[in-house]
Amino acid sequence: MRKNVNKNPVMIIMTVIFMLYAVSILFVMVWGLNISLMSRKDYNQAKLFPTSLQFVNYITAWTELSANGISMIEMIINSVWYAVGASAFSVLFSSMTSYVIAKYKFPGRGFFYGWAIVTMMIPILGSAPSAIRFYDMLGIYDSQFLIIMFASSWGQNFVILYATFKSVSWEYAEAAFIDGANHLTVWYKIMLPQVISPMIALFMVEFIGRWGDSETALLFLPNHPSLASGLYIYKRINETRLNTPALFSGLMLCTVPVLVLYICFQKSIMEIQLDGGLKG
């Protein structure tokens, strides 16, 4: 049976496609690392490889790259609270709404699920000016409190967690209710542990997207640049005298948290369980 699966033409094509995709990403990473180790002279002369490895570029990136007077260490701190906070709130809020709609019967719950699907299909364009004005009226524009507004209860996280909660047996909750647990306790202590692996995977996807998101920080956090937006600002301001190898060193440093996060949680991602633990 295993041999038949391995020889399936569809599986072979998909394997080749994913391998090519992985190679393309690895090539970009390796080429960026190669440029980060060049001297400015080697880069300006369009050499393919550095004459000598310039690890000093990473020290230069750490000490000299800045955006509007914000140092690189401050940009990293901004990236951490923005990416971690917004991702955690997004997954947590989605787990609340998806759990209620998946497990509780009430009038209109089908509408909410349909609304989540529709909002994923229809792009909302041109909302940035009104969003900026709205956040400014609330007094949270360009502040750390803005991450709560970025945390959506709908979208992809909702759909995935909805399907996950639907597959978890309600007998867990019934047993907890018999023991005197309330609805909040059942959600927090019984149901959430059942879907912790998918939640970690969704958090990682959110984190990676937000860590590299420069547009949102440029629009809504102009005085709190993240690492991604800060490097963009640095490149734009220093266009005529840009130290490109140092900039690429900063970009390489920007990828480190994502790689560390994946290495730490790859086991949880590979062991995602979408079924309950009750049998029979």
Rounded mean pLDDT of the chain? 83
pLDDT at 277 (0 to 100): 42
Which pTM was predicted? 0.78
If you compute the radius of gyration of the chain from its CA atoms, what whole number of angstroms results?
A: 23
Percentage of the chain with pLDDT > 70?
91
Q: Smallest Cα–Cα separation from 97: which of 170, 147, 156?
A: 156
Q: Percent of the chain beyond pLDDT 90?
A: 9
pLDDT digit string, tens, across residues 175-227: 888 888 888 888 888 888 888 888 888 888 888 888 888 888 888 988 889 88
pLDDT of the residue at 6: 55
User: Is the confidence at residue 271, as pLDDT, over 60?
Assistant: no
Q: Tell me: the pLDDT tens digits for 65-85?
A: 888 888 888 998 999 999 999
- What pLDDT does residue 69 have? 84
Q: How far apart are CA 47 and CA 201, in angstroms?
A: 40
Report the CATH number of the 66-270 domain. 1.10.3720.10
Residues 212-270 have pLDDT tens digits of 888 888 889 888 898 888 888 888 888 778 888 988 998 888 888 888 877 777 666 55
How many residues are listed for the chain in this entry?
Answer: 280
